[in-house]
A and B are shown apart, each in its own frame.
Chain A
Amino acid sequence: MALAFVASQAGLPVYLDTLGTILATLLAGPAAGAAVGLLSQGITAVQAGAYMLAFAPVQLLVVALAWVAGRSAGLATTPRALLWGGATGLAAGTLSALISYAAFRGVTATGVTAITTLLTGAGLTLRQAVVVASVGTDLLDKLLALGLAGVVLRALPERVLARAPGARAAVGRADS
């Protein structure tokens, strides 16, 4: 929520609501990441409506992908982090689109729904519009989230990284 605020201040249409989930996964393991992700989704639900809880599986998918990215030194450099961000965005966007279409006929968060409406007006079917809007917004969001997670982890002092083997592996310092 605080990150969504700074993103909005920078004029970027992203939520960055999974950055905490990604960092918790890499710093404390997938169980902690899942707890943070579900908690984060719960807080989003309290702020933006309980139907946002339907998107909790997206957080768990992000945990799984962040864990895999971390194990393969996916945040060692910015290009690698962005590559993993792209993959995560595609996967998370596809899952979001499935949930959004199946449970809510494409109408959930205001920003994504506005894009869906514009795309439907431009001639796409509702299903196509939901997929393009969800994947498009998630792609940008996760690119920035993984990119920022890499910047944060690489900026952490060695004494902190030493206590987090997952984060050390993610930034490619597992054997140093």
Chain B
Amino acid sequence: MPPWGARIPEAAPLHPFTPPALAAAVAALAILLPMPWGPPALLAGTVVVVVAGGLPAAVGRALRVVFPLWILLLVLHGGLGPAPRVAVGGLGLSRSGLLLALGQGARLGAIAVAGFAAAATLRASRVLDAWAARGGTPHLGYLAVATGFAVPRLLARARTITEAQRARGLRLRGSLAGRLRALRALALPLVLGLLAEADDRGLALETRAAAAPGPRTPLAPVPLTARDRWLRLGALALVLAALAWRVAR
């Protein structure tokens, strides 16, 4: 299963460019909002919107990615931060470090939740149709979508090559020199195979006029609704307001 398109709310989907635009706005707000309480408020709001939008899995996925970073933030800034210290659960933690870890952790969390939610809404055909409707270069759109969907297949190929080389007696552990030799034995067939495949696909696409100039007709035009426009405008307004506040402060 590719990392995107994992779950798509069926009712009245947004234009495919709207969720990434909203995620970009969340990322900008995460950087612009004042530390330490701005990012936690943004994270809470983002989680509420994403769950209400029918994408709770994106929150779970983001938590799995950012939780180790939260622990490291706590150790790095809370445990190793400057005095004064406060007692938390029997541990003496830096007060300013804790606040920094809270703000920074929420900042990363908000960006991750919004990013995973946006990725989960993407569907290849709608992205390509929207891209074509915008007059975007067709082969660039295809390249982006096809590469994303190739990831699971490439990982499977890497596993196959690894198992085949191990069956031939390749040792994957031992000295550094041995591991470097193992890396070469694994990476070389993988990369050469990918280059050959890219060559074949390029030829196939060329025969289908993928790189030919001129506009394309979307198979199923994706409408840009008033809701999309208002959401984008609202996000832009929020970012501009945060920026103006940041500059004026």
Contacts and interface: CB of A to CB of B under 8 A. Distances in A.
Interface in B136-193: 140, 143-144, 147-148, 151, 154-155, 157-159, 161-162, 172-173, 179-180, 182-184, 186-188, 190-192
B27 to A, nearest CB: 6
A10 B104 contact: no
Given A1-B155, A39-B143, A120-B80, A50 B191 contact: no
Q: How large is the interface on A (under 10, 10 to 19, 20 to 34, 35 or more residues)?
A: 35 or more
B154 A1 contact: yes
A12 B158 contact: no
A43 interface: yes
Interface string A103-137: 11111101001101100110000100000000000
Nearest to B35: A105
A104 B110 CA distance: 13
Q: How large is the interface on B (under 10, 10 to 19, 20 to 34, 35 or more residues)?
A: 35 or more
B43 interface: no
A95 interface: no
Nearest to B62: A49
A99 interface: no
Interface of B: 3-4, 23, 27, 31, 62, 65-66, 68-69, 72-73, 75-77, 80, 100, 104, 107-108, 111-112, 114-116, 118-119, 140, 143-144, 147-148, 151, 154-155, 157-159, 161-162, 172-173, 179-180, 182-184, 186-188, 190-192, 194-195, 199
- Sort A-B residue pairs by CB-CB distance and give the 4 closest, nearest first: A50-B115, A6-B186, A2-B158, A2-B154
